[in-house]
């Protein structure tokens, strides 16, 4: 879904995609990921580069134990959840 400028938010139903391994939201206009993102326990790669409006990540994102690659370059994140 990268480079789709009309993507401004990600629905909470994203958490139902428990078998998802790769998610590329780079170059979109999202401001935050839904709290249900932590339910993506098979997620290995999350690309958020150049999401200029992204200001925070879900608090429970640390529960993504299979996450190996996280790209947050070019975002406005001020701090990272544990």
**Position 4 pLDDT exceeds 80:** no
pLDDT tens per residue, range 39-62: 999 999 999 999 999 998 999 999
Query: What is the C-alpha separation between 69 and 11, in angstroms, rounded?
Result: 22
Query: What is the C-alpha separation between 50 and 72, in angstroms, rounded?
Result: 7
Residue 3: per-residue pLDDT: 66
pTM for the full predicted model: 0.89
């Amino acid at each position: 879904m990268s480079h789709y400028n009309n993507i401004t938010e990600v629905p909470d139903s994203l958490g139902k995609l428990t078998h998802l391994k790769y998610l590329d939201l780079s170059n979109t206009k999202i401001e935050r990921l839904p709290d249900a993102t932590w339910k993506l326990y098979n997620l290995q790669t999350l690309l958020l580069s150049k999401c200029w409006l992204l200001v925070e990540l879900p608090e429970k994102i640390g529960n993504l134990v299979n996450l190996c690659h996280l790209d947050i370059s070019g975002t406005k994140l001020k701090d990272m959840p544990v």
